[in-house]
Amino acid sequence: MARVASRSGVRRLWAAMRPERGRLAFAALLGFIAAASTVALMGTSGWLISRAAEMPPVLALSVAAVLVRAFALSRSFFRYVERIVGHDAAFRGLTGLRVAVYERLDVLAPVGLARFSRGDLLARLVADVDAAMDLPLRVVLPWAQAALVSVGTVVFMAWLIPGAGAVVGLALLAGLVAVPWVVARIAARAEARIAPMRGQVSGAVVADLDGCAELLAFGAVDASVAHVRTLDRELTAVARREAAGLGLGVGVSVLVQGAAVIGSLLVAIPAVTSGRLAPVWLAVAALVPLAAYDVIASLPNSALAYQRVRAAAGRLDDVLDAQPPVEDPPRPRPLPERAATLECRDLVARWDPSGPPTLRGVGFAVGPGERVAVVGPSGSGKSTLAAVLLAFLSYDDGVAELEGVPISELAGDDVRRRVCLLTQSAHVFDTTLRDNLRLGKPDADDGELVAILDRVRLGGWLASLPDGLGTELGPRGSTLSGGERQRLALARLLLADRPVVVLDEPTEHLDPLTADAVTADLLQATEGRATVYITHRLSGIERVDRIYVLDAGRVQAVGTHEALLSRGGWYADRWQEERDRVS
């Protein structure tokens, strides 16, 4: 569960703003000048109106009239510049924070992201980072400006009438501390629930959009929509409770503001009647606390924003503090030049650090130009082996080597410069066919792209496209069939030209005829490369050089197709089951 009340997370967000603190300090100064101009405008206007009622010579009013114009103009000007400077600093810091979160996601991917749903990750990367921008703009700057203006106001009122200074000081202290504290206490529990509930709503919506075809096919649309509506109603109810706390805070602020004005007048009126204070200052005594309290009227909103920032910080901490499934060594060894041999000995690895191992003493090897298959039932450890070979997952014991160098001593990116992966759900980006292919080789020209599509038997499909290589493929490759998607991913892989290829269940979601055709094309296209073909489906792998049978995380048998059939066991039984299904 996210650490929704994370003060350490808020400190981390503030530390991320360190490069922009100079700009923020300047913005706070500009905001103080703007707010002080507002208070000074009200006080000067009150004095001017009161003095004008005494009908003095016009020259006696000229200074005050000029000051009114100056304060009116400076209030707008400095507020405008403060907004520019403050938002510029906040957006700069926000950019750095978003990059830091994205870089952490990159380190965690793909294994370390398994505990987050896609919609929840999207909410953390977008909504929670956006909420973090409230820290400088809606928390730090308003409180700093309000505190400075309050001190200046109290000093002025104490100079004017010492008793009024004490009364206004108490009222402003209540507005600075007590009222925001009450709002924060009321809203804390609601805000603690809002951030994760937003993630739940986002996750449910994304999941429904991803699975809309299946939902329609099975008539489950109404149930899925009802689930989203239920989550939305719960979120709305919590948001109402949060709004109720804010409304209460605003109402109390108005009452305290009125009390400050009345208290100031109760002190000022006897001073006027006793002759200790000139009558012209009575309006000033009433209007200055009124204007000063307007400056701190936004602090209940700031208290609410602070709770929102704390909730977002806790959720971002979950990502930023997540332990990566594999860490690069402090001083990675250089990558061997050939790096076309993978070997494992007595390999022990697990997905969950606190769970049982999914690989238990596995021995495995593939050399240059060899093609080996790793087969076994679901849960036997095949995908775990692929993750170790790609340096996506660390191993607990044993050895996993690339060209004789332990993978644990190499940088993960270096490993993946020699070893590439094709999975059962290769991603197709919502862009053109050309851009999708160039993911494998950014500088490939159109001639290379056409040739590679021909090689994976997509030449005829390319010719049928309205815009050729410039054809948009739609979200997640929605315009492609399953076989076309996998062949496109294979073309991308071949363009990358890695010496070692890992194929992890590449035909999992295809019908048997398409799966057989894709399997044949995969093995043919990767000929000459060290190829690891991971599958629980045996059809089409007869031509590989060696087959490893995994079960319960151990290698149960190794041999050629014919040798394993003659030996009996899981492989022979599975082969016969597939033959019987076909017949």
The CATH number that applies at residue 56 is: 1.20.1560.10
Eight-state DSSP code of residue 571: H
Q: Total domain count for the chain?
A: 2
- The angle, 0 to 180 degrees and rounded to 10, between the axes of the packed helices 21-53 and 141-160 is 30
Residue 325 in any domain: the answer is no
Residue 336 in any domain: the answer is no
What are 459-464's contacts with CB under 8 Å, separation 24+? 462/433
**Do 316 and 381 lie in a common domain?**
no
Residue 328 in any domain: the answer is no
Residue 248 in any domain: the answer is yes
Binned at pLDDT 50, 70 and 90, residue 5 comes out as: very low
Binned at pLDDT 50, 70 and 90, residue 80 comes out as: very high
Binned at pLDDT 50, 70 and 90, residue 554 comes out as: very high
Binned at pLDDT 50, 70 and 90, residue 343 comes out as: very high
**Residue positions counted in the chain:** 583
Q: Report the mean per-residue pLDDT for the chain.
A: 86
Q: Mean pLDDT, to the nearest integer, of 70-86?
A: 94
**Do 171 and 222 lie in a common domain?**
yes
Inform me whether the pLDDT recorded for 2 exceeds 80: no
**Do 297 and 347 lie in a common domain?**
no
Task: Give the per-residue pLDDT at 24.
Answer: 92
**Do 98 and 221 lie in a common domain?**
yes
Residues 547/372, Cβ–Cβ less than 8 Å: yes
Residue whose C-alpha is closest to residue 482's, from 512, 526, 520: 512
Higher local confidence (pLDDT), 322 or 459: 459
Q: Mean pLDDT, to the nearest integer, of 515-544?
A: 86
Q: Which of 229-243, 393-407, 461-475 has the lowest mean pLDDT?
A: 229-243
Question: Considering 320, 354, 373, which residue would you say is the last residue of a domain?
Answer: 320
Residue 287 in any domain: the answer is yes
Task: Give the per-residue pLDDT at 562.
Answer: 92
Inform me whether the pLDDT recorded for 235 exceeds 70: yes
Task: Give the per-residue pLDDT at 7.
Answer: 64
**Do 121 and 204 lie in a common domain?**
yes
Kindly report the CATH number assigned to the domain that includes residue 557: 3.40.50.300
Binned at pLDDT 50, 70 and 90, residue 406 comes out as: very high
**Do 444 and 348 lie in a common domain?**
yes
Residues 6+ apart with CB under 8 A from 566: 572
Q: Mean pLDDT, to the nearest integer, of 303-321?
A: 84
Please give the distance of CA 109 from its chain centroid, rounded to a whole number: 13
Type of residue at 10 = V
- The angle, 0 to 180 degrees and rounded to 10, between the axes of the packed helices 162-173 and 221-273 is 170
Q: Which of 13-27, 305-319, 433-447 has the lowest mean pLDDT?
A: 305-319
Task: Give the per-residue pLDDT at 578.
Answer: 83
Residues 82/114, Cβ–Cβ less than 8 Å: no
**Do 298 and 150 lie in a common domain?**
yes
**Do 187 and 296 lie in a common domain?**
yes
Question: Considering 272, 290, 320, which residue would you say is the last residue of a domain?
Answer: 320
Residues 495/433, Cβ–Cβ less than 8 Å: no
Task: Give the per-residue pLDDT at 4.
Answer: 44
Q: Which helix (H) or strand (E) holds 531?
A: strand 530-535
Residue listed under structure tokens 């956006």: 130
**Do 315 and 347 lie in a common domain?**
no
Name the 3-class secondary structure at 69: helix
Binned at pLDDT 50, 70 and 90, residue 145 comes out as: very high
Higher local confidence (pLDDT), 315 or 444: 444
Q: Which of 115-119, 154-158, 526-530 has the lowest mean pLDDT?
A: 115-119
Inform me whether the pLDDT recorded for 581 exceeds 80: no
Which residues form the domain of 573?
342-582
Inform me whether the pLDDT recorded for 374 exceeds 50: yes
For the chain, give the percent of residues with pLDDT over 90: 32
**Do 365 and 404 lie in a common domain?**
yes
Inform me whether the pLDDT recorded for 504 exceeds 50: yes
Cβ atoms within 10 Å of 56's Cβ, excluding its own: 11
Task: Give the per-residue pLDDT at 236.
Answer: 86
Eight-state DSSP code of residue 341: -
**Do 305 and 401 lie in a common domain?**
no
CA distance 569 to 558: 12
Inform me whether the pLDDT recorded for 220 exceeds 70: yes
Q: Which of 42-46, 54-58, 123-127, 416-420 has the lowest mean pLDDT?
A: 123-127
Residue 97 in any domain: the answer is yes
CA distance 318 to 432: 35
Binned at pLDDT 50, 70 and 90, residue 582 comes out as: low
**Do 364 and 494 lie in a common domain?**
yes
Higher local confidence (pLDDT), 104 or 81: 81
Residue 289 in any domain: the answer is yes
Inform me whether the pLDDT recorded for 3 exceeds 50: no
For the chain, give the percent of residues with pLDDT over 70: 98
Residue 326 in any domain: the answer is no
Q: Mean pLDDT, to the nearest integer, of 273-284?
A: 89
User: Which range scores top for mean pLDDT: 114-123, 330-339, 363-372?
Assistant: 363-372
**pLDDT digit string, tens, across residues 24-59:** 999 999 999 999 999 999 999 999 988 888 888 888
Inform me whether the pLDDT recorded for 146 exceeds 50: yes
Which tokens belong to 393? 């997952």
Residues 375/548, Cβ–Cβ less than 8 Å: yes
Residue listed under structure tokens 């759900």: 425
CA distance 545 to 372: 6
Say if strands 546-551 and 554-559 run parallel, antiparallel, or are unpaired: antiparallel
Q: Mean pLDDT, to the nearest integer, of 306-335?
A: 85
Burial pattern 168-180, b for ≥16 Cβ within 10 A else e, equals bbbbbebbbeebb
Residues 499/418, Cβ–Cβ less than 8 Å: yes
